[in-house]
Structure 1
Amino acid sequence: MNLHIPLAVLLALTLAPTPGAADISLAPFAGFRMSSSVNIETAGASTSDQIDFRDSASQGLVVNFDLPEPGKQGELYFGRQSTSARLDNGLFAPSVESIDLTIYQLQFGGLYFPGGKNHGGFVSGVLGVTRLEPDDSGYETHHRAALSLGGGYQFFLTDQLRLRLDLRGVYTALNSGGSAFCSGGCELRFDSSGYLQVEAGAGLAMRF
């Protein structure tokens, strides 16, 4: 994936004036993701299988900006995970047991501190797109709608610095019947409405 595009979006949102906003925070984070399985079927046959994504580390950046109402913030989330996909009972292609891939999310939404402050416990919700990009260009890249809901806690360190802990669920929608990762003639089809990932992360939120 060309990272210049999401980075340009992040920079533009950071530099652009936001009506009623008092502060902007940038929070680079590192985390760990666990994934559910995805049901698939072989086209034209009755056989079925599951794709399992390997649990692995993740990293990214969260951008927040204060809204006029105390305790409410806009939120832009960009996440990245290097992982692999493996079939439970089959092969993607002759002698191909697994596919290395990178999962990206770019989502926008909001964050809310129930106490009306800019630190402490919070809940968040963002909506956007997931990109499933195999490292081997011979396999298809998929873009799907995604939704993330989560919560966490921001520990006050200084006026300009917070320690941010997050736990979020990332749901990616799949078109049942749409092609799975394929090379050449595709015989695999998604047989699932979507899959869920759970991400635990920690980062430092720097306010400007």
Structure 2
Amino acid sequence: MTDSDLQRSIEAMKSILQPLRQDEFSERLYKVSFYVYSVAKSWNACRSYLSDLKRKDAADPGKISQAMQARVESFQASVKNALGFARINLDAAMVLALERLVWRPKSAGRQDEQRKAGALQKVFDGMPEPGKAMLQHYRDTSDPLDKWLVAGPWGHEYLKKRHIDSEALNLELCEMLACGGSAAGKVALSYSRLYRAIGDVEEAALKMQEV
């Protein structure tokens, strides 16, 4: 990987993120961009350090090699840490978006939600494509608590734990609710693309070992 590969991956993420930074989502999404941009700054510092090492008198090449390897490993750890925080803030923005898009019944208490969530999980755990089943359940059920759980933060987190992309669910949900043009709808529709874009930045950064 080259500097330009890393820069392209960051710019690709920026092009998706920039239009979404509005209203109540601005703070969380600013933090996403902050942590992603910090990767480029960390690489520049790492590259400068490695260049300085290479220019030194190689009287002890083994020692210099060890120092370079240690610096690269430190950079890689910082990448994972920074992008971990980027993902945390992206998830927080997504939860906020879902809370704005999906109506939450005020009559349902915490125990009601936990009980119903446990029952839904048992149903979806046995399905190879829970995302499709969740969409169908959202369409068919008249229970507002079921709708909130399936389409809201719980459903999103459930799919994440199953390592299933929620993009199709988010698209269908926004179409059903006719909310794709709202700030919350735009965040929901862009979530999966942003998550993949952060992954692309991470992949590019972790391969940056040469000066």
- The bucket for the TM-score relative to the shorter chain is under 0.3
Larger Rg: 2
Name the structure with the higher strand share: 1
Q: TM-score, normalised by structure 2?
A: 0.23
Q: TM-score, normalised by structure 1?
A: 0.24
Q: Which of 1 and 2 has higher RCO (CA within 8 Å, sep 6+)?
A: 2
